[in-house]
Amino acid sequence: MKSTNVLINLSKITKDYVTEDITTNVLKGISLVVNKGDFIAITGRSGSGKSTLMNIIGVLDIPTSGTYILNNVDVSKMEEDELAFVRNKEIGFVFQSFNLLNRASALENVILPSIYAGVKPSERHDRAVKILKDLGLQDKMNNRPNQLSGGQQQRVAIARALMNNPELILADEPTGNLDTKSGQDVMNILKNLNNQGKTIVLITHEADIAKHAKKIIHIEDGKLIH
C-alpha cells in the first residue's frame, strides 16, 4: 500500500567508498522518514557523512545497499538517465556556492531547469518572472550573477529551484557564503516556502541556522542521532 504523506523513506542505507582495496564505510545503515510538509535540518561536523547523505537524498549518488523510496518510487537502483529526470522534476537544489551560470542573466538562470523539463517557452518565461517577483528581484532579472550581491544570488538560486514546482527543496549549507542578514533573509524565504507546503531538507553545520527547522537530526560517524 502506497503512503500518500511520506515523501522520503530511507531504509538501512549504506554507502561505501573503495580506494586501493581500502573500503570506507561512510553511511552505516541510515533509516529516515520525511513526510510531505516537513522542514528538517541535518547537522553534523565535517566528515560525519552529511554531504554523502545529501547526495543520496538528492539522487546525485546511489547507495551501496538499502532502499530509498522518493514520492512512492524506488530510486535506489535507477540508472543515471532516470535519476537525472527525478532530479529535474522532484527536487529543487539550493547550494552554498549558488551554482549560477555567470554569462546568463538572473532570468535565464531561473528558466534553465524548465527547458530540460520541456516546458513551453512562453510558459517558462512567465513562470520565471513571477517567481523572481515573488522573491523581490523584479528589478534584477537582467542582471548577471557578478552584478548581484550574495543574498540576491541565493534568491535567484531559490527561484531556479522552484521552477519545476518540486515537492522537495534540498538546501545544502544555503547560508554558508552569506553575511548574517542575508542568511536570515534566505532562511525566512525557506520558512515561507515550507508554510506554503514545500518539504525542506536543510544540510547545515550552523546551530543557529538549524534552529529554523521544525526538526533537527544529527549525523555522527555515518549514523543518525535523533
Residue 131 and residue 158 in contact, taking contact as beta carbons nearer than 8 Å = no
Half-sphere exposure of 4 (CA within 13 A, CB side): 0
Domain borders along the chain are 6-225
DSSP strand pairing (199-204 vs 39-43): parallel
C-alpha–C-alpha distance, residues 210 and 216, integer Å? 7
What does residue 62 show for φ and ψ, rounded to 5 degrees?
-115, 150
Residue among 66, 38, 92 nearest 215 (CA):
38
Q: Is 154 exposed, middle or buried (0-12, 13-18, 19+ CB in 10 A)?
A: buried
Residue among 114, 106, 92 nearest 170 (CA):
92
Average of per-residue pLDDT across 104-108: 97
Cell numbers for 95: 547550494
Residue 139 and residue 125 in contact, taking contact as beta carbons nearer than 8 Å = no
DSSP, residue by residue, 111-153 = HHHHHHTT--HHHHHHHHHHHHHHTT-TT-TT--GGGS-HHHH
**pLDDT tens digits for 187-204?**
999 999 999 999 999 999
Rounded to the nearest integer, the mean pLDDT of the chain is 93
What are the Cα distances from residue 111, in Å, to 93, 99, 119, 129, 196?
Answer: 14, 14, 10, 9, 22
Q: Is 178 helix (H, G, I), strand (E, B) or coil?
A: coil
Count, residues in the chain: 226
* 6-225: CATH superfamily: P-loop containing nucleotide triphosphate hydrolases (3.40.50.300)
Given the C-alpha cell 538549524, which residue does it identify? Answer: 210
Query: Residue 119 — very low, low, confident or very high, per pLDDT cuts 50/70/90?
Result: confident
Query: Residue 20 — very low, low, confident or very high, per pLDDT cuts 50/70/90?
Result: confident
Average of per-residue pLDDT across 140-158: 96
**Per-residue pLDDT, 121:** 86
Residue among 62, 55, 31, 30 nearest 221 (CA):
30
